[in-house]
Amino acid sequence: EIFFDDDTFNYRKARTLELCAELKKLNFTWSCTSRVTTDYDTLKAMKEAGCRLLIVGYESGDEQILRNIKKGATIDMARRFTENCHKLGLVIHGDFIVGLPGETRETIRNTIDFAKKLDVETIQVSIAHAFPGTEFYDYAKKNNLVQINMADDEGHQLPNVIYPGILEKDELVDWVERFYGEYYFRPKAAWRIVRKAIFDNHERSRLYKEAKSYLSLRHKRKKFVAETKAGRVLNEERAQVG
Digit-coded pLDDT (tens) for 164-190:
888 888 899 999 999 999 999 999 988
Distance of alpha carbon 151 from the chain centroid = 18
pLDDT band of 150, cuts 50, 70, 90: low
Q: Where are the beta strands (DSSP E) in 101-194?
A: 122-127
pLDDT band at 151 (very low <50, low <70, confident <90, very high): low
Given this model, what pLDDT does residue 227 score?
A: 81
CATH number among 3.40.190.290, 3.40.50.9100, 3.30.420.40, 3.20.20.70, domain 1-128: 3.20.20.70
Dist. CA 151–CA 60, nearest whole Å: 23
Instruction: For residue range 34-89, list pLDDT tens digits in order.
Output: 999 999 999 999 999 999 999 999 999 999 999 999 999 999 999 999 999 999 99
Question: Would the pLDDT of 155 be above 70?
Answer: no
User: For the chain, which residues make up each domain, given as ranges?
Assistant: 1-128, 129-242
Say if CB 33 and CB 21 are below 8 A apart.
no
pLDDT confidence of residue 156? 62
- pTM listed for this prediction: 0.86
Facing residues of 33 across strands? 55
Share of the chain above pLDDT 90, in %: 57
Summary mean pLDDT of the chain: 89
